[in-house]
Chains A and B, each alone.
Chain A
Amino acid sequence: MGQVILKRIASGDKSAVQDCLNAYGGLVWSLVRRMSPNSDEAEDAVQEIFIDIWKNAARFDEAQASETTFVAMIARRRLIDRLRKTNRQPNIDSLEDMTAEPSNGKNQDLQICVEAQEAAKAMKNLRPEQRQVLHLSIVQGFSHQEIADALKMPLGTVKTHARRGLSQVRAFLGLGDSDLEKEAAV
């Protein structure tokens, strides 16, 4: 049933909103709480994200990804946009936390969707520095400059690790690797 919610929303079915909130409310809230400093900010972000989800519902392609991943992608876009506009830093307890090697993720059986399980596997196969940069940026929400400062890496190296690591995750997920990317890699 979960896979048809966005299609129903795209067709203007208002009753799908409740299903959408039931299915993805907790997910979006958890993603937002991870990146938002306070409840007011978080509430604003969640409302914006759900509007974005409704607006983009027609673009969802079930052959490409699960609804869960698509929803998380829309949420990330909005959160990145908000972080960039406000130039805020996400909360973190200490530098030690920041530079710690990321965990291997939760028990895979408990993970949210198949892409999340696959992404966890893909992350394990990355070089440690690629994994760390992706964890700090995508999971923790740090900017490239903050990561460069914390890891004492040149900015360009941070960006390169992020790009190569993410390209590998994408390939592992079977999301394709374009000709352009292949050409550039040669």
Chain B
Amino acid sequence: MTDLQKERWLQLLADQTVFGLNEKELMEAEKLKKQFPDWEQDITLELAAAAVGLSQLEVKEELPANLRTKIFATADNYFETLEASPKVLNFPPKVSKNIGSLATERFNNIVETAPKSSPWQWLGWAFAAAACVALAFTLLTTRPDRTPETVKTPETIQTPPPELSIEQKREQLLTSAIDAVRIPLTNPKNQKEVVGDLVWSNAEQKGYARFSNLPVNDAAKETYQLWIVDETQDAKTPISGGVFNINQIGEVIVPVNAQLPVKKPKAIAVTVEKPGGVVVSKQEKVVALAKI
């Protein structure tokens, strides 16, 4: 490793961080990085650049609601994939074409290029495996009781905390959140059969709406959607609080999942929308309203 190589490597690291590298530079960096393994995961320059970027940034607007909805959908897929293959959780993240993250690739290369065993070594392993099988067979056939013995090892039984019912969660919010309010839900068209209440905590940013006798909806044709009217938002674009369906007449409690931070809630409304809900409601069919 010469001083020139060192200098070049440092320059490439800085270039990558500030400007990005072209294909030729990436190939050059790929060759040089082998000589500087300690630098492969150094992100300090990138953090410094990020801080410079933040120092001139003014966050003027929130993430648009429709984009937020898309990201939630992406998150669903992402976390489902993780659940399906939990090994991914511990997998070193791979950020393509970034010098600072090439450790993963290097690790993979090491695994792939490990020296191959000779046939004689494999023969030795084969003999060893055969001996193990023979030993196991002997042990099994010479034991008086062939029933496999249960090996009892001390284990810690971890009882998961009991999952609260939605009624209990509503009650808990009402009693524990310092700013929780409970407001009656009314039907704007005075349809007496729909009654209920809303529990909302602005500090917790969550709430529960309880309805009685909200008509059953055909989920294939329409859905109910909750909306939070925020004083700081345009009245025409309230914040979505999630969608729900009613399968049977009776009392139901649904969580209010605000898709954006709620700053000054003024009211919560329930509208009828197309299946899946909408980003912006025409508010043609408002079936319940709670004024905070």
Contact = CB atoms under 8 A, between A and B. Distances in A.
Interface of A: 10-12, 14, 17-18, 21-22, 25-31, 34, 43, 46-47, 50-52, 54-56, 58-59, 64-65, 68-70, 72-73, 75-77, 80-81, 83-84, 102-103, 105-106, 111-113, 115-120, 122-123, 134-135, 137-139, 143-144, 159-160, 162-163, 166-167, 169-170, 173, 175-176, 178, 180-181, 183-184
Interface in B1-33: 3, 6-7, 9-11, 14-15, 17-22
A72 B30 CA distance: 25
A52 to B, nearest CB: 7
Which 10 A-B pairs give the minimum distances between C-beta atoms? Answer: A25-B63, A163-B14, A116-B54, A119-B51, A170-B48, A73-B50, A115-B51, A120-B55, A72-B50, A175-B44
Q: How large is the interface on B (under 10, 10 to 19, 20 to 34, 35 or more residues)?
A: 35 or more
B177 interface: no
Interface of B: 3, 6-7, 9-11, 14-15, 17-22, 36, 38-39, 42-64, 67-68, 70-72, 74-76, 78-79, 82-83, 86, 89-90, 93-98, 205, 257, 260-261
A169 B3 contact: no
A59 B41 CA distance: 10
B68 A139 contact: no
A139 to B, nearest CB: 5
For A10, A14, A70, A143, which residue has the most chain B Cβ atoms within 10 angstroms?
A14
Contacts, number: 214
A113 B54 contact: yes
A77 B54 contact: no
A22 B261 contact: yes
A138 B74 contact: no
Contacts of B17: 166
Contacts of B10: 163, 180-181, 184
B48 A162 contact: no
A123 B52 contact: yes
* Main DSSP-derived SS at the A contact region: helix
Given A29-B63, A123-B55, 12 more contacts: A10-B89, A17-B72, A25-B62, A29-B59, A29-B62, A119-B52, A138-B52, A139-B53, A159-B19, A178-B39, A178-B42, A180-B39
B180 to A, nearest CB: 19
B75 A81 contact: no
Contacts of B36: 180
A21 B63 contact: yes
* Main DSSP-derived SS at the B contact region: helix
Contacts of A184: 3, 6-7, 10
B62 A77 contact: no
A76 B79 contact: no
For B15, B18, B75, which residue has the most chain A Cβ atoms within 10 angstroms?
B18
Contacts of B6: 180, 183-184
Contacts of B205: 22
A163 B54 CA distance: 18
A55 B93 contact: yes
A59 B100 CA distance: 12
Contact of A176 (B14, B44, B64, B70): B44
11 contacts: A22-B260, A25-B63, A30-B59, A30-B60, A69-B54, A84-B20, A119-B48, A120-B55, A139-B53, A162-B18, A167-B14
Contacts of A51: 74, 78
